Every structure is written in structure tokens, then in C-alpha cells.
Structure 1
Amino acid sequence: MSNRHERTMADARAWLTALVRDTRANTIAIMAMAMIPLAGMVGGGVDISRMYIVKTRLQHACDAGALAGRKSMGAGVWSYNNYWARGVAEKFFDANISATPYGASNLTRSFSEQAGKVIGTASATVPMTLMRIFGRTSETLTVTCDAEMRLPNTDVMFVLDVTGSMGSKAVSSDSDTKIESLRTAVKCFYEIVARLDTDAMCTHGQPAGGTGDQVQIRFGFVPYNTNVNVGRLLSPDWFANEWKYQSREPVWHTETTTTYPNPIETDRDVSNNTSAWSPFEDTSTYIDWWGGCPAIPTPNPGTQVMNGTTTTSDPVINPQTGVKTWTETTVNGTLQTQYRTVKQGWGDIRCMLQKSTRTTGSSVTITYSAQPVTTTEKTFQRWRYAQVTHDISGLKDPADVHQWNDTGTVELPIGANGAMRSIPWDGCIEERATVRATNFSPIPSGAYDLNIDLVPAENDPATLWGPALPGAIFTRQATGSSNGSTNGWNSAEVFSEQNYVNNSSYSCPSESRLLQTWPTASAFEDYVDGLTPNGNTYHDIGLIWGARLISPTGLFAASNAKTPKGGDIERHLIFMTDGDTVTSAANYAAYGLPWFDRRQTSASAVPSSGDLTNQVNARFSAMCTAVKNMNITLWVISFGSGSNETTEQRLENCASANRYFVARDSATLQQTFRSIADEISQLRLTR
């Protein structure tokens, strides 16, 4: 190393040493050096805070878009109506974030669909501030989101008005009748909830895929008009063996005869005997001895075989038992004969021939007994028309009374001249015991017809149901009246040879369906297409049985309380009607024939339509309260314009809170069912 270089190094060391020892102005230097990391810390905190806020806003906007897109998609397909659901998702995203949130730029969003799930991604570029001194000028943030409809285990019971007025149009501008519109709306509801396509032209597109096996979705039906068709859904044990009908029974003229066929031998007495010889008797004339006595006939003793002779005693009939007894005695034996010649006289000696007989053999005495057989010959005389108790146990299978018979008929003695007639049963029922009342809040204890969960007991007839048998009904007439309108009906019993007929009106809707899965749309379509309009409007009987079929604690608790895996179930009852209550005393309905039976109204007077309508409305309202108290969501739809304000208020009061809808035309009806389906299907974010 050169001397010059050594001097330079020495000078430097001396300067540094002096600098270290000199404390003047050190604070400025330290601060200058600390500014660099301090600027990084402050700048990083500011920029990270901005990044966090921007990412949060991105996530919220993405979630909003995914939810809106999935809800708009409903049960349809993503591409329906030129990807309308995707457009809704993008609009909701844009509405929830500005184009340059907190100075961010290059904002992007993208939404797609996969297996019913809407998936979204969003990104934005956030410019850096103080972090630029470290070479980071911007940061790109990306978020993801998705949403899908996740149904809980769900039971839906449709209680549907299928009365005669459903055969007309809701409004003249509709192309379909109300029943046709109802079929379409229910199918579209099924598409949304079950996620299976039907043959209906629905506004939400064509769904696919179903709900899978992770969730239980069941649908049930109670179509109603004057009555409900639920009989064969129930156990035969829940039906009485006898039921009272406004019917007839034969009055017979009888003749009774008693005979004693096939007597039996009860005693036999056999005796062997030989009779004594009879006294000799003269069998010839006197003969001169000198002429010689005749020879004794041979054989001596002579024999002759006797045939059996029978004698019969007079019959005796026991007055207490009617048993007839008599004896027969038969004698069999051999007749023996002996002869002799006897000389007689002292002067002229004469001789004569004498004969003596005896019987040897046996006699048999047999005692007979015969039981009386009474034969009664019945001849039809006339009919007794009245409330008649008929044996209807024949509807049950004779081999197993816990099952219905195969024929669906029962034999009753109401045919020509009292002959048995086969009466068909279509499945509609007569309600169990009720009470006459005008107020059903609370429900009277004796009104078993309004007790949703009461399981019938075979030893308690008041809790049992009966089959509706219009073929067993005869509307009896007053003497001299025509066999026609109710003006001539007679509430008293009538004895007549005349054949009255059933002039009451009767309607039985399609058979109801228990809650069940419908894994194929075709079966669901077939059932809904079978709904046809007929009959008057009795809202109470429809709601009563809708409640019974969905209740988790009643007749079908075993299948309704939980899923087979023990899962909880959400329950919805959808009640739809197109109008006011319509009744008639001439309707053979669930409470019999009101003109005669008067089970709900005063027994002393024929009920008016107003009386019956008030009964239906009061019972209906009581059922509305009962259903809502069972933690069942009760949806009510008033369809068309046939209901008056009082009816619509009653329907609104019936529904659960905010669950009442009015649909004036077919399009609105479909929209209403879709809205209910969307609300039942719970929309949830999944990420």
C-alpha cells in the first residue's frame, strides 16, 4: 500500500471518529433515516385500508347480484329470455357499487350458472399512494360469490275449490276456464318447488334436475265441492259398521209353518214271548159216531208263519219344546195250531173236531223323536221410508275387516220387493258426530267433526265416520205430492207401496291424495288434469280434511311428524277458492241430507240456505284458526271476481300474516302460485 493511500485512510478514520464523538445535529440525521420506513408503514396502512373497503364493497355487490340472479331465475333455466336472470344479476351488482369505488378502476363482474347455482366473480384495480415509493403502483382485487335455492324438508297440501263455477272463465279476456288456469298454476308451482318440467306453459322457463335426495319435498291434495273424497285413504277401522240414512226398508207379510222332518230313534224295546194255547173251539159239526170220527187234520199240531204286524201310537208334542214323540210296535212270530177229536153224548155217540192256537216269536217297540222345523214365508207388503239404520260393514273385506273389499260395493235390502241391491261407494264420506251451534270459537267439545287430530275409537261410535251412499237415499213424499221438488218432501216416516227415488243433489270430487313425493312430473300432471268442476261450495269440509291430511300429530302422525331420517318439516297449506259459500238443504253432503237430517241446524225446522251458509262460514273460520295454531303456514288465494267483500275479508282473516292473495285472472293466478313457490323455496348464499 502507498504512503498516500495510508494517509487517506487515516484521515477518514479520524473524521469518522470525530463525527461519532460530535453529538451536534444527530437528531436531524436520525430523523432523515427513519422517514423511509415510517413512510412505508403509514402509506401501507392507508392503502391496505382502501383495499379492504373496496374488497368489501365488491363482495357485497357480488352477493347482491348472485341472489338477485338466482331469484329471478326461479325454477327456470339461466338462458331463458335471452339470459334475463344474468342481466338482473349485473344490474343489482352495478346498483350496489360505483364505477370507481374509492378511486378503484377497471371494475369487472361476471355471473354464470351451474346446476341451478348462480356463480359470480368481480374485480377492481386499486391505485397505491405512498406505497408507490416501494414500487407498488396498484393492486388488483378479486372476489367470488354464489347463491342457490335450498329447500328445507317441505310438505305442501293443496286444498282446491273444484265447484261448478270453476268451469267458467275468471274474466272474459282469459282464454282458459278457471279450472284450466288452476291446473296450469299448480303445475308451474310444482316446477318451481320440485324443479322438474311439466307440460304446462309456465312463464319461468323449463327447470331440470330435481331437488335430489338430500331433501324431502311432498305434495298432497284435497279437492272439494259439496264433499271430499277421502274414504279409501282412511283405515276401515275408523268407519262404523252401521250408519243412518234417509232410506227405506221393506215391510213383510209372513206365514209360519212347522214340520217334523227326519225323526230319529230314541229307544228300542225287544221282547221274546210265547202265548198260551187258546181254548179249544169247535170247528166242525157233530158227526154220528157210528159213522166214524173224521181224521185229525195235519200237521198236528199245525203251524202257520205270521207276517210282522205294526201298530203306531198317537204322537205327543211337548208344549215347551215343541218336540214330537211316538212309538211303533211290530210283532213277528209263528202261529201254531193243534186239533183234537172229542166224543160226546150218551145216546147217540157223536164226535167233533176242536182247534187251539198259540203264537211264538218276538215284538219290537221303537220310540221316535222329531225336532220341529219352523218355516217362515215372507211376502213383500210395502216400504217404510224413514231414517233407516243400514248395515254397511259389507264394505270391509270379510277375510280381513281392516281392509276395504275389492268390489267397492255393499249389499242393502232396498231392491225391488225388498231384494238385496248392490250399492257402490265412490269414496266420499259423511262426517262424524257434531253439535248444533252458531259459535265455534272455541270449538265445542262434542264437535268431533272439527277435531283435527282425534283418532277414531271403535268403541266410540261418535268418533267414527260413515260412507256417503247416494244410492241408498230416498226422498220420501207427502201423500198426494209429486215425486219431485222439496215442496213435496215429508220429514215423517212414510209407509207406501210406491217406489220413491233420490231427488237430492250430490257431488263427489276427485279422490284426495296423502302427502307424497312426486318424483316424476307425469304422475303429478295426470292427477291435476283429472280435477273437474262440479257441485256447490262448502269451504269448511275442504279445510277440515286438508288440515287432517297434513297434521303432524293426528291421523297420519307416523308419516307426517318427521322425515324418515328424523328431519324437521316445514308445512304449508294452500287454500284456493273462486267464490262465496253456496249451500242447499237439498245437497246430500258431508252432514247427510240437511232437509231431513238437520245435524247442524234446528231439528224442528227445515234449514234455509242462509242457515247452512252461516254454519259453513263459522266452521271454516274455526278451522282457519286451528290450522294456524298448528304451526302450519296457511296461504289463501281468492281467484276471479265472484267473491263479495265479506267473503274476501273472511278469506284474508283466514290466512297467515301477509299470506293472502287475490288473483282476478289466469295470468295473475299463475303469478300468485309462483310467488308462493318462490317464498317457500328459501334463497340462500352458499359462499
Structure 2
Amino acid sequence: MQELRTNTAGNTLAMAGMALFPMAAMIGGGVDVSRIYLVQTRLQQACDAGALAGRRQMGGGSWTANSNAARTSANNMFRANFDTDAYGSYQGTSTFTENAGTVTGVATVKLDMAVMQMFGYGTKSITVECDASMSIPNTDVMFVLDTTGSMNCPDTGSSYCSNNGNNEASNARIRGLRSAVKCFYETLAKRNSDEDCGSTPSPGSANTAHLRFGFVPYSTNVNVGKLLPNDFLADNWTYQSREAVTRLENVIVDYTPGTPYLYNTNYYYDGNWTGTSTIDTHYNVRNSNACDDLKPNDYDDMSGNEGPKYNEYTWTSGGQQITRWYVDISGTRYDYSTSYNSGQDRCRIQLRTRGLTERREYRQVNQPVYQQQQVFSHYDYKPVTFNVSGLKAGGSTWNNSIDLPVGNQGLDTGVRWDGCIEERQTVRTSNFDPIPAAAYDLDIDRVPTIGDPATQWGPLLDEAVWGRYNSSGNRTSSTVSSSNNLSRNYSYTCANEASKLRRWDNPDNFDDYLDNLDAIGSTYHDIGLIWGARLLSPTGIFASENATTSTGGAIDRHLIFMTDGDTVTSSSQYTSYGVEWYDRRRTSSGSSPSDGDLETQVNKRFLAMCGAIKNQNITLWVVSFGNGVSASSITNLQNCATSGKFYNASNSAQLLENFRTIANDISQLRLTN
């Protein structure tokens, strides 16, 4: 026994037999755990895919819209990515729900153990959860919207329509634009506008990230002046206007008072006669003639004082100043009569009285005092520089009008300012590749230098502007002298006031802004895009507001440009570059510009600005609206847009879908769990 106890021969076999069971457990566990991990991973991937598909299908609308299309899409995507019999699993289920814009999925399958059953582990239930939502990064969106007269026209049809009489058609394009932008707002901001967008943002889903919207409505001009600090506008600006011309004359400056004199007197009865009364009786009077001889004479007693002056009036005659006035004196008229009785030879003296007013007219002749002075002669119609600093009320506060010496006889008169501006220095060129350094009007980021008008803007003052024409009735750039008001000889419109980037947490304010947009004026694409870029730029005139979020975060920037037509210009319009026929700031100074010259300039500057915007890492979306856009304009609009960001809408319904697609693209679909 002692030998057997110490004998180690054959121990390995026994040990190997004893290790067989734990080794089987280890190997089997590894196999089954690998199967569990594989099934769980694929199940999670399928759940994620389903949640993402459901959220994308939902877009900016409702989870239950279109017969629960979003939930159906989520389940279909799940099944496409996970076969419930895969890897030996069975009894698979998937459930997708939505709350406040977030889609949540729960997926479960069962998996029988292949090896671990011998150790008492039979079936494993595997469950995964997944969430997906549409969210946006810190985002600024600037809308540059065509609000020209043609936006009043119907959104369908091919017949020509200029401005529909400046009245909105029942299906006007401007109405389709309002609807599309409001639904864009609903999709991106998750706030409910007054527009019926097909669904309502889910309660509690409102976007609380840094999300701002700005607007630049444009037509012939843009209304941005009152958004700027006072220092950004020049103190003096030159206009096609008129200047008073004077001459030296002897002018009456005063009068030497003359001596008043009584000019005329009139009497007027005041009230009725009193009753007749006997004041004296005489007897032994032989006859009536003798009785009449005893009667006192009638008389007027005007012993009262003169009353105050009234109806004073002054006029001039023969260089003299004549003043007339009246005074009244109250008195009494005494009227005597007789009554004779021949039988008694009696004579009675009778009296009645009546109120009397004496009206005295006085006059005074004043002699003139002369002095030599400059007096108004006529107006010279020509370019005139005015001091317009009176519009500045401090900081970013502005007055709505200014007094300028363009009224009758050279007098000051109030000239209103609605907020539209004239552009700063530009250059006459047809080559904008690259943009000339001296073309400050195309420099998005140049901040004006105080006291340097070349870098500043000027107010558009249409009431201070006149055109002029020669004796033949033709326009002329020469000075014209006239004592009359010449025809304005130009047309002017100012778009609705632009809005800087800001939060629009109250949908009513957003709706009101769009509802108040008016469609009027011609189509100058360049000026709209220029100011959209300036108001959006993180490094320009509003860098302090636009560079980062309030917490220093980065911002994604998007500019959405929408137009319904080709460039439309006219040399007779008062634009951001003056009255084009007279000012010629961007066309040849030696000849009057044609409409074709101006259209070429606008289109070239528009495309130059498109490139400048994209170079600032701003996503530029361009939408063409309606059937009236020419092929060449479509090409320009396509070239303007960031690659893949051009849309063409033939009617309002397509415009709404285009804007909704843009909003969804700006939003980022992501898994949240």
C-alpha cells in the first residue's frame, strides 16, 4: 500500500479526465457567449437602423402622419437588417415609439445555448434599446427673399405677369413664399406657426440650441439702414437734387409807423325803438305848424368811449403798408314828434329813443424801410451735397426725417427716410474675378471708417432727388436752371425692413414678419445677396454678434436665396447706386447706361458675391420659383449655389417641399442612445 501510495505512474490520464468537464464548460461558454454577443450586436445595429429610418421618414412632421408611415418604415428597416431566425435566434420582436421628436426602439429575441445546456443554461433572452432624433448644431440661417412686384402674380401659369397691379393674387407667389418659410421654421425650430404644414411639431420638441433666423427682403433696394450704428453712415452725401440760387435785392425789412386817422364812420341801430312818451304840453297854440315849431330837433348822443380794436387787417400798396381797424362807440338816438289838438289849442311834445352804434374805421399808413439782401431767384438742378447727419439720433437710433433746403423758394422742408441706403464706393468694371480691392460695395467684411465716406453708406432720400431734362425734353446730365419743379424723372421703391439674426422663440413674431412682406419693385439680385452676406458674416460689421454662440461655440451658417425671376433693371430707377441714368456709378461715366448694361452689371456682381459667400464657409442654398425664369438665369442660379444646393420649384407646393428638404438637410439625424 505504501508503494502504491507513492507510485505516480498514470497520473496524467486521471488528471486529464478530471479536467475534461471544466474545459468543456469553458469552451462551451466561449462559444455561446460569442453567439450572444454576435446576436446582440446585430440586433443593436438593426434597432439603430430602424430608429433612424423612422425618424427620417417622420422628418419635420408627425409620427402618426400618412397612416403611421414612420413606424412602418422603422419596422421594415429593422427586419431588413435582422432576420429573426439569424444565428439560431427566434421569437424576435421590435417596437418603435416617438416622444417629443425622438424615436425609441426596443428589440428582443431568444437564443438557445448550444453547449451550456449541459450545465443548466438553456435559453437566453437578448434585449436592446435605441434612440434616434433630428437635431441641429448651432445654426444661423439668413433668408434673402425676392419681394419684387412679380411675387404678386399667380404661382402657376405661363402668361406674362409683371406685378399683378401691385395686388396679391389669391394664389400669389408671395403667399407661397410665406407658407414655405413658416413650414421651414416649424421643421427646424420645432415651433408651431400659423401655417398648416400638414402636421404640428410634437409638444416639448422645440429646439433650444443656438438657432437664429435673419431676413433680407429685396427688390430694387434693401431696407437695412436703421439696423446700423450711426457711424456707419456718412455725415454728407451727394444727390441728384436742386440748389437754390439767389440775387441781391432791396428788401423791405421793417416799416416806420404812420399816424392813425379816421377814415370812415357808419351808424347802426342797436335794438328796437322805445315806446313814445309825452315830455311836454303847450296850450294856446294856434295851429299844427306852430306846434311843430315847438318840437326840439332830433339828435344822437354819442358821448360814450371807443371800444377795443377789431377786424384789424394789413396790406401793402405801392410799397406802403396800410393797416385798417374798427372801433365801436355806443350811443342813443333821440327822435321827437308832436301831437296837436285844435279844439283845445293843445300841443304835446313826444319822444322815443333807440340804441345806436357808431362804427369808426381808422387807417394808418406805414412807410417801408429797405435793406439789401440775397433773395431766392431759381433752382439749379444738379448733383448737390447735403449734410444728412441730422438723421442720426445716437447709437443705433435714427430719426425718420431730416430738414433740407429743397422746399419752395429754397426753404427747408422735411424729407423722410424709410431706411433704404445707397451703397459705398464701387468701381466701374466688368471683371470681378477677383473682386477689385477698391470695390468696397462688394467687400462683405469691411467695417466703415468714421469720417471716410468711401467706406460708409448714405441714406436713400427720394424726396430730395430730381431728374432733369433739357429744352428739347430729353434727359441731360448738365445743370438745368428753372424756377419750377422739374419732373422727378425717376421711380423709387424701398423693400420691407430687413431683420438681423435673432432667436424667434415666439412664432407669432415670426408669422407677423412674413405676413407684412410687400411685393413691389424690380429685381436687383446683387444688392439682396450683398446685404444677406453682411448680416450673416462672422467676421464683418456684426462680428461681435455673429462670430460664436454666447458660450463661445462654433456656428453653422446657411444663406437661403429665393427668387422668382430674371434680373430686371431700369436706368430711371433710384437704386442703391443712385439714379442710374445720372449717377453712373457702375457704368461708363461718358454715356447713359442701357438696361442691358445694368443687367450685365447686376448679374456679374451677383455671381461675384456668390463666390465670396461660399469662400466664407457659408452654405449657399438657391431656390428658383415659378416658370418665368430664363435658361440663362437658371444657369447663374445653379452656379451661385453650393454644389448640390440648388432647387427649382414651379409652384407653391414644390417651393414648400424644397424648403422642407433644406430644413431637414440642415438638421442632423443622429443616434442618441
Q: What TM-score bracket applies, with the shorter chain setting the length?
A: 0.7 to 0.9
Shift of 1:28: 6.9
> In terms of mean alpha carbon deviation, does 200-209 or 642-651 score higher?
200-209
C-alpha separation between the residues in 2 aligned to 1:528 and 1:112?
Answer: 35
Is 1:134 matched up with 2:128?
no
Give, in whole Å, the separation in 1 of the partners of 2:397 and 2:483: 35
Match of 1:88 in 2: 73
List alignment gaps of at least 5 residues for structure 1: 1-13, 261-372, 482-487
1:558 aligned residue: 544
- Which amino acid is 2:214 matched to? G
Q: How far did 1:607 drift?
A: 0.6
Q: How does 1:279-428 map to 2 (within 5 A)?
A: 376-397=372-393, 400=394, 402=395, 404-406=397-399, 408-428=400-420
| Residue in structure 2 matched with residue 99 of structure 1 by the alignment | 84
Gap regions ≥5 residues in structure 2? 159-168, 255-368
The question of 1:508 aligning with 2:494 is answered yes
Whether the 8 Å CA contact 1:99–1:107 is kept in 2: the answer is yes
Q: Is the 8 A contact 1:191 1:207 kept in 2?
A: no
Aligned 8 A contact 1:75 1:207 in 2: no
Change over 3 Å in CA distance of 1:243–1:609 after alignment to 2: same
State the distance in 2 between where 1:651 and 1:603 align.
30
Match of 2:230 in 1: 236
Partners of 1:658 and 1:636 lie apart in 2 by 10
Any idea what the Cα deviations from partners look like across 1:627-647, whole Å, max 9, x if unmatched?
111121111111122222222
Deviations 1:70-107 (A, max 9, x none): 22222333333443322221121111111311121011
State yes or no: 1:445 paired with 2:437: yes
Q: Which sits farther off after the overlay, 552-561 or 41-50?
A: 41-50
**Which amino acid counterpart does residue 222 of structure 1 have in structure 2?**
V
Q: Distance in 2 between matches of 1:210 and 1:240?
A: 46
The aligned residue for residue 220 of structure 1 is 214
Match of 2:281 in 1: none
Distance across 2 between alignment mates of 1:639 and 1:461: 38
Q: State yes or no: 1:120 paired with 2:100.
A: no
Q: How many pairs are equivalent?
A: 550
- SS of the equivalent of 2:656 reads helix
Contact kept, 8 Å, 1:575 with 1:634, in 2: the verdict is yes
2:176 is equivalent to residue 181 of structure 1: yes
Alignment of 1:633 onto 2:628: no
Give the drift of 1:685: 1.0
Distance in 2 of aligned mates of 1:374 and 1:40: 129
Against the structure 1 CA distance between its residues 384 and 207, is the aligned structure 2 distance closer, same or farther, given a 3 Å change threshold? farther
| Counterpart residue identity of residue 504, structure 1 | Y
Q: 1:210 to 1:467 in 2, by over 3 A?
A: farther
Instruction: Report the Cα distance in structure 1 between the residues aligned to 2:250 and 2:390, rounded to whole angstroms.
Output: 30
| 8 Å Cα contact 1:74/1:204 also seen in 2 | no
SS for the counterpart of 1:140 is strand
Task: Return the alpha-carbon distance in structure 2 between the equivalents of residues 28 and 474 of structure 1.
Answer: 117
> Cα distance 1:210–1:222, how it changes in 2: closer, same or farther (>3 A)?
farther
Q: In the TM superposition, what is the alpha-carbon distance from 1:534 to its structure 2 partner?
A: 1.2
Code of the residue aligned with 1:143 in structure 2: it is V
Distance 1:686 1:436 in 2: 55
Change (3 A) 1:376 1:192: farther
Measured against aligned partners, the alpha-carbon deviations of 1:419-459 in whole angstroms (never above 9, x if no partner) come to 22211111101101111000111111211111111111122
RMSD, aligned CA: 2.6
The answer as to whether partners of 2:227 and 2:396 remain within 8 angstroms in 1 is no
Query: What TM-score, normalized to structure 2?
Result: 0.77
Counterpart position of 1:435: 427
Question: What is the alpha-carbon distance in structure 2 between the residues aligned to residue 665 and residue 454 of structure 1?
Answer: 38
User: How big is the shift at 1:30?
Assistant: 5.8
In the alignment, residue 110 of structure 1 is paired with which amino acid?
T
Amino acid at match of 2:611: T
Residue 614 of structure 1 aligns with which residue? 600
Shift of 1:187: 0.5
Deviations 1:139-178 (A, max 9, x none): 1100111112232211111011111111113324997321
Look up the SS of the partner of 2:578 in the other structure.
coil
Q: Identity across aligned pairs (percent)?
A: 50
Please list the CA deviations of residues 580-622 of structure 1 after superposition, one character each: whole Å capped at 9, or x if unmatched: 1111111111100111111100011111111111111111111
Residue in 2 that maps onto 1:191: 186
SS, match of residue 596 in structure 1: helix
Correspondence 1:154 to 2:139: yes
Shift of 1:535: 1.1
Q: Distance in 1 between matches of 2:434 and 2:203?
A: 47
Whole-angstrom CA distance in 2 between matches of 1:562 and 1:641: 40
Q: 1:71 to 1:403 in 2, by over 3 A?
A: closer
Q: Take 2:588 and 2:449, find their aligned partners in 1: how far apart are those partners?
A: 28
CA distance in 2, matches of 1:376, 1:238: 43
Alpha carbons 2:84, 2:109 under 8 Å: kept: no
What's the offset of the Cα at 1:497? Answer: 2.0
The reply on whether 1:623 has 2:617 as its aligned counterpart is no
- Residues 1:59 and 1:403: Cα distance change in structure 2 (over 3 Å): closer
Q: 1:539: Cα distance to partner?
A: 0.7
Say which SS state the counterpart of residue 507 (structure 1) adopts.
Answer: coil
Change in Cα spacing, 1:93 to 1:210, as seen in structure 2 (3 Å) is: closer
Pick closer, same or farther for the CA change 1:69–1:403 going to 2, 3 Å. Answer: closer
Q: Does the aligned pair in 1 maintain the 2:99–2:202 contact within 8 Å?
A: no
Larger Rg: 1 or 2?
Answer: 1
